[in-house]
Structure 1
Amino acid sequence: MDKQRLIEDVRKKAEGYFQRGEFFCSEAVVHTINELLGWPYPAEIVRMASGFPIGVGKSGCLCGAVSGGVMALGMVYGRVHGEPMKEKMFPVAAALHDHIKELYKSTCCRVLVKDYEFASPERKAHCVRITGEVAAFIAQKLLEDEEIANKIKTLEEVASCKE
């Protein structure tokens, strides 16, 4: 598997879901990573991400793509009642936050979009890029984790398994 190609496929897939209006940012990330992982959760898991777009319910706070990204990381590194916290969860979630903050100077939705008219195609394109960046960052981190990477197939293989 060509890791760079797979990361770019993940980026494009998440961007496409958002660009076409099939999902908002947080939903696009969660759906794309669930797909990348081979659907360990039913497709309905995306519902949990539906309150995060436009900075948590349109409040303009934490970027929805980042929120969705942390949720997607939880699909891999999260826990259930009675389990100890997995040591990778906090560092990889913080790394996502720091990566987006370094690239865009903020993780706050209202700050990220302050230079755009909200309904403009330029603002949407900007948010689509951030969504793709979050999904690609997560894919890269998962591919760097040997335990997880060995379970990941190409998106084409995953799609053919679900049909």
Structure 2
Amino acid sequence: MEKSALIESIRKKAEGYFARGEFFCSEAVVHTINELLGWPFPEEVVKMASGFPIGIGRSGCLCGAVSGGTMALGMAYGRKHGEPMNEKMFQMSAGLHDHIKSMYKSTCCRVLVRNYDFNSPERKAHCIKITGEVAAWVAEKLLEDPEIAQKINMGGIG
């Protein structure tokens, strides 16, 4: 599968999980990127992303999709006890933050949804779009990294 088509399929997959109510934003991103990477972590890893929706436990702070994207980047660039920090972890996380902030002028959930009734389909559609954008951005950056890309099945994700 061509890189741009793969990235678009990742966007749609993450959006679909959220749209269908299978996952919230952070969970959808973590699950989708774990799948893209060939399941380096058990499927249950998504449980670690379950506290981040609606701005960290409904507090309205950091966007859950951005939190999930940062967790997903940790799947590729994170470390285990005793290992040195991979400088790419900070660069990529900051890059994700800056990308979303440049697109939406904030990474704060309450700011991102302030123009919507929270229970409206319009707000949900807005959040689904952000979720897809985060998943696509993370996937694109991982595919641009030769060390990571060689481990990814370019045939797509199921």
Match of 2:80 in 1: 80
Letter in 2 for 1:77: Y
When normalised by structure 2's length, the TM-score is 0.98
Query: Which residues of structure 1 form unaligned runs of 5+?
Result: none
Deviation at 1:154, TM superposition (A): 3.7
* Contact kept in structure 1, 2:3 and 2:154, CA below 8 Å: no
Deviation string 1:31-68 (CA, Å, 9 cap, x unpaired) is 00000001010000000000000000000000000000
1:49 and 2:49 matched: yes
Match of 2:4 in 1: 4
**Matched position secondary structure for 1:88:** helix
* Contact kept in structure 2, 1:62 and 1:108, CA below 8 Å: yes
Structure 1 pair 42/98, CA: closer, same or farther in 2 (3 Å)? Answer: same
Match of 1:124 in 2: 124
Match of 2:103 in 1: 103
| Identity fraction in percent | 75
Moved over 6 A (4+): none
C-alpha distance in 2 between matches for 1:66 and 1:16: 17
Structure 1 pair 62/4, CA: closer, same or farther in 2 (3 Å)? Answer: same
C-alpha distance in 2 between matches for 1:40 and 1:126: 30
1:23 and 2:23 matched: yes
Letter in 1 for 2:92: V
Letter in 1 for 2:71: M
Deviation string 1:107-142 (CA, Å, 9 cap, x unpaired) is 000000000000000000000000000000000000
Query: Which residues of structure 2 form unaligned runs of 5+?
Result: none
When normalised by structure 1's length, the TM-score is 0.95
Letter in 1 for 2:80: V
Name the Cα RMSD after superposition: 0.9
Letter in 2 for 1:71: M
